[in-house]
Amino acid sequence: MSQEWNLEALRESVRSTERRYRRELEADLEVGWIDMHSHVLPGVDDGAESFDHAVELLHEAWEGGTREVYVTPHMFRNPFDNFDAAEMVDAFGRFAEGLRELAVHHVTEYRFLRDLKIHLGAENYVSPEFLTALAERRVLTLGSTRCLLLELPDGLVTKAAESAVRKVVDAGYVPVLAHVERVTAFTRSAASLERLLEEGAIGQVNLPGLIDPRTFEVAAGHVQSGRARLVASDGHDLAQRTMRLDRLDEIPGPRRLRTLVEEAMTVQPRRIFELHRAG
């Protein structure tokens, strides 16, 4: 009898946890998507080409339900000449000032810019230049968090990736691995990604990677297994690599996968960034 009671109490506790989690998720969905990987800072990489183009990208993101954007230009990677964090901060400052001007002086047309939150970050290519900057703490985290978005060179052998991730952790940062579905080493062996996660890294998948049939299986596997807790646009333009995140219907597979993707663009980034807030 008491065992039955315990079982029922356990079931109720699971149900109440599920209800609470669903409520939190729904609250986050109302707030909107958090896009933690995008190339919208104009004129610095292969993303937005001009200020006007960047505003169009942001408007499209807003229309798709995004309410918070992390601007993550390519850094420490050729041919983009972005090796200086201070220069990137200046470029972001000019961009933010331009957006503010629009929001203030063209209230009707650009009202969304008042409500869209924008943060500076970087997509740090794990190159010798990055490791030097890391040692000197001249790197850009995602906004005011300790999270560092890392792009692993595709040819980087697993041992070198492990060493780089350990250096990032030892320097006091949280490594976030960009578009893990595109890293060949992880496609061949999920165990090599798991080793990096054990070191403290967090995986991120691109939303288009879940829609493209060529990468769906790998990307979905990373999300379903929890190896990737973050999903973002990695948006570059208005055509092929857009910033729209309201594309859940285009993801095949079970409904559970789409729920996990929703969480990876709302609850998960909010929790991860709160947990790893700098200072």
Report, in Å, the least distance between residue 47 CB and Fe ion: 8
**Residues in 125-184 at the binding interface with Fe ion, rule: CB under 5 A:** none
Q: Of 68 and 123, which CB lies nearer to Fe ion in the complex structure?
A: 123
Nearest to 38 by CA among 187, 234, 204: 234
Determine contact, residues 193/204, Cβ cutoff 8 Å: no
Q: What is the CA radius of gyration of the chain?
A: 20
Cis peptide, bond prior to residue 269, ω within 30 of zero: no
Q: In angstroms, rounded to a whole number, what is the distance separating the alpha carbons of residues 125 and 94? A: 24
Q: Which of these ranges, 46-54, 214-222, 231-239, 240-248, lies near Fe ion under the rule CB under 5 A?
A: 231-239
Q: In angstroms, rounded to a whole number, what is the distance separating the alpha carbons of residues 131 and 65? A: 36
Report, in Å, the least distance between residue 18 CB and Fe ion: 34
Report, in Å, the least distance between residue 234 CB and Fe ion: 4
Question: Which helix (H) or strand (E) covers residue 208, if one does?
Answer: helix 207-211
Determine contact, residues 193/226, Cβ cutoff 8 Å: no
Report, in Å, the least distance between residue 45 CB and Fe ion: 8
Report, in Å, the least distance between residue 190 CB and Fe ion: 22
Q: Of 28 and 237, which CB lies nearer to Fe ion in the complex structure?
A: 237
Q: In angstroms, rounded to a whole number, what is the distance separating the alpha carbons of residues 129 and 133? A: 6
Which residue number has the CB closest to Fe ion?
Answer: 234
Residue 123 in the binding site for Fe ion (CB under 5 A): yes
Residue 45 in the binding site for Fe ion (CB under 5 A): no
Which of 234, 237, 262, 263 touches Fe ion (CB under 5 A)? 234
Residue 262 in the binding site for Fe ion (CB under 5 A): no
> In this structure, what token pair is assigned to residue 123?
């997509």
Residue 237 in the binding site for Fe ion (CB under 5 A): no
Q: Which of these ranges, 8-16, 123-131, 243-251, 254-262, lies near Fe ion under the rule CB under 5 A?
A: 123-131
Q: Of 38 and 187, which CB lies nearer to Fe ion in the complex structure?
A: 38
Determine contact, residues 95/54, Cβ cutoff 8 Å: yes
Under rule CB under 5 A, how many of the chain's residues touch Fe ion? 2
Question: Which helix (H) or strand (E) covers residue 50, if one does?
Answer: none
Q: Which spans of this chain sit near Fe ion (rule: CB under 5 A)?
A: 123, 234
